[in-house]
Amino acid sequence: MSVKSCEKLENSKVVLTIEVGAEEFEAAINKAYLKMRGKIAVAGFRPGKAPRKMIEKMYGVEVFYEEAVNIVLPDAYEGAVKEQGLNVVGYPDVELVECGKEGVTFKATVSVYPEVKLGQYKGLEAPKAEVKVMAADVNARLKEMAERNARMVSVERAVKKGDTANIDFEGFDNGVAFEGGKGESFDLEIGSGSFVPGFEEQLIGMKAGEEKDIDITFPENYTPELAGKPVVFHVKVNEVKVKEVPAIDDEFAKDVSEFDTLKELKADLKKKITAERKEAAQRAFEDALMQKVAEGIECEIPQEMIDMQADRMLDGFKQQMASQGIPFEQYLQMTGSTEAEFKAQAYGPATEQVRMDLAVEAIVKAEGLEATEEEIEAEIKNVADKYGMDLETVKKFLPAEQVAEQVIREKVIKLVADSAVAVAPVEEKEEKADEE
């Protein structure tokens, strides 16, 4: 194998012109003969026993060329890529130029990892919010805690908005029950909007034990089988429940925390909310900085890199849905979309993510950043502590290479943030101007 030329094209593509000599191609032809001879019929010979020369005489010398090219091409291509030191992305488009006894010549057009020119990544400016925690914020958190500790209590009255109705239901399209339209002992919060529009409102006024037919029309953007169709749901109310929220007092503080008084709990919540908001403000500051860094790079991104990132996002979303017990196909039906439409919507975020990754890698290269074994070990321990898992167990499912990438990424973010200047967000500047 020899590389006749390596031509650079636009959009981070190259064309390799590769030659495979007569001797190497002859060996591939012989391999093709040994592989194919059992499938070629030649009069006077048992299957697989006909000599190569006899087969070539009957069917032409080119009879084994296609298979021989398939045999020789992968190694020749890989060798050419290695010889030229290319970091390829995706699979090549191959064009056969010449093929004969003298050998094979083919062209392979393939995308390569782009050359990245960094813009400014030190001394950048980005907005950073000033953290304030007011009494109203603490009270809101207390209210959330009380809501989480509420209990459902059965009541003997008609359903009202805000109640939870336990229902049995079954949907019918022209008198025929349709798939996915049946449920038993289902808790539905009236006013939550979690059911088809018009359904929840028609439960108001019903009492436990009552049954009713509800007429609704499915939205036009629903699943194709039911989109825009008028249907009937037969509904039975089993129970009416209301949420009983505990009073927020010293007793509540004792029940939900290690503190004896509400005052102590409030002080602790203020500290926690402050820490949370400081962390969120720092992350938002860092995100804004890294966005500027990504926007500042100059490079030609191969479409294959964006396609691969979009595929990763799609796979990640499918796994997320599966973990919630929702098959991706069901999600598509619920949203009235297709997989192709979903993936098309992912191209924007995928492009941004690829630019970000390229920017990070360029800074890593420029600064010579690395992750030490001690740093990798410390990060794995952090993960184990965070999720309450055994250290060795975490190591089994979390590859060291993946942890190293995260450690290095955090180093890049820290490097950029440490040299950056935090400025007040626009709304904070306007508020201060109004006060003056």
Domains annotated for the chain, with CATH where assigned, are 2-112 (3.30.70.1050), 151-244 (3.10.50.40), 259-435 (1.10.3120.10)
| Digit-coded pLDDT (tens) for 356-387 | 999 999 999 999 999 999 999 999 999 999 88
What DSSP assignment string belongs to 221-268? TS-TTTTT-EEEEEEEEEEEEEEEPPP-SHHHHHHHSS-SSHHHHHHH
Reading the block at residue 409, the tokens are 């990424």
Mean pLDDT lowest among 36-45, 194-203, 422-431 = 422-431
What values do phi and psi take at 84, rounded to 5?
A: -85, -5
What values do phi and psi take at 353, rounded to 5?
A: -65, -40
Q: Are 162 and 178 in contact (CB under 8 A)?
A: no
CA distance 113 to 145: 50
CA distance 7 to 107: 10
Reading the block at residue 169, the tokens are 């239901």
CA distance 27 to 344: 46
Sequence-distant (≥ 6) Cβ neighbours of residue 210 within 8 angstroms: 236, 237
pTM > 0.75: no
Percent of all residues in the chain with a pLDDT value above 90, rounded to a whole number: 81
CA distance 361 to 356: 9
CA distance 218 to 196: 7
CA distance 114 to 358: 9
Q: How high is the mean pLDDT of the chain?
A: 93
Element (H, E) at 101: none
Asked if the model's pLDDT at residue 429 lies above 60, the reply is no
| Centroid of chain to Cα 317 | 5
Q: Are 369 and 410 in contact (CB under 8 A)?
A: no
Sequence-distant (≥ 6) Cβ neighbours of residue 38 within 8 angstroms: 47, 48
- What does the pLDDT read at residue 432? 56
